[in-house]
Structure 1
């Protein structure tokens, strides 16, 4: 597509930058959250979500907002080193799906809480044995005996932000005996239930952070169905289509900052004089330029395999960067720098944090193997 920013976009950029600087810059009310990745202080992070909502920065793309304005916001958000938002699942996944597949009543019920930053959502998709193969879902839901909603039983895993979420949308099997894509429904349920109905068990990762969890449902009550009963697979695929979009360009601003830090470290340690490392660093820089150009080229398109290609490219790129971040520091890369970028007994350096977290990049959001299958079947026309 012919992508560019006009004068109105640049005026919007200046306003966004000024707003972010006033809050995250020196003396700002949220300066302590600048550069924060892991949501350790839930109350502060919730306060930030409400601040975004009050400023009108949540839901810029609803229902068909300016694509360039969305890109501008994500870029400036990344440049300001604003904290990873707690409301990302509700804003960028559920809300666009509600606008396409939800009823008027559902829009009136759920969108205001997301837009204000008051209500945090999580996504109940992956299960043990049903991660990238989502159609293998075994969580079940049966109609409540009192006729009020559905009772959900089963286990979800790798559920991002679930220990802070107020609501969850859950893909569950509502037709007994159904298999694969048939008989599924996307159910909406509050995370606050009677004792024992929902149990959240945080999963501690290699970097010491626990933003993922296992979630166990024992006849937890779902109060709504998004789409028709039995059409869960179609609704779930609609939702996943929003997973990669304008936000990818903001992510690349963060990647650029991380790469700059690695380049500075290489210069400080003398690693940039090693021809092999210098070539690897140059390839990372060039790949980032290609990644951005491709993201701009495909923004707003629905070409088969576009999202799969983008996921493969950035996941592999970020893993290589994590390896280089530690490698260019030589032996010093194995030691902490006295600043705890992990939690508790994990005093990780920023480089070590990048290395460890990036191990998951080729798995979450669809593993590399699944992305290659999508490209093979839907783009190249190869047999299953």
Structure 2
């Protein structure tokens, strides 16, 4: 017997944006183009959340904000109550008449960055991705660095250049130096790449000096989005020694406009791959409920599918990443965003970056339209989508993150 409630909204039936999902975003509409509102995607519509709360006679102050930050900061008991209210309003026939005016066709609204990004951290959690890059850059040597299976490697990015899906990505300029060059030169990146990733959005902050334990993951993480960590490989290769990524990464990071609540992903949880190195105690998730997620991702370049990265193969989970990035006492803030790192699988068509798909440009990618690519050209458009299993055979949709390269 199905335990998933049925909505009175016809387009929500059998939709990846049904009442089992209810992702949050921020939108503007033609009637008030200057006013940003919190919306909830349901079926083919966006529900004006503040208007819906008022129509239902419920408190609306958190849902009347122009970003998700106040709701995210309110904490898990509030998140659960709001989600339960939304589910009731969209499944109880008695609310149909009151809520119908708050439903706007999804194609007629403009979506914006859904939250104010406080800090941004990017990880490197796919063993397949890390192994491929090790083989590319250190042939004949051990592909993984000695620390890789002992801790989730990451770097601190630039929060101010996180942009919403659809924002053009301007080709960055910087210093470049190929191994055969006598000296560096300056100019536009010639090796512009993508990284298909999953982002995790922090709601509840933490106290400075107090690490967040594995068991507290659900208390702090509000939801999940898709992320493209655009990368200028030539700039990155010259600058990264000894302190890691900087200008080769900080020019743009795109995220999807819909934040899927963590509670919507309970049926997508899976055990991560078996680890052959025992983690230190603070990272040991074997005694609890590990937070591997069964997300099926797809990467399209100019409309052509080029990869299907499987998120369930990730070695380090978001739960472990959150714990590791606070183990030194670093505090969380509402709006912190941390990303999984490139999602790659064991086969060529599951690699989540062009540097892997083309083996650093040595094996050009052939597209169905007859063109080839090693790295991105001006005008190229990249779209990343994903789905996850929901309750009773339903599907959870994440929407998409899209960006077009502008020279």
Q: Structure 2 length as normaliser, TM-score?
A: 0.26
- Greater strand content: 2
Q: Which has the higher contact order (CA 8 A, sep 6+)?
A: 2
Larger % of helix: which? 1
Normalised by the size of structure 1, how large is the TM-score? 0.27
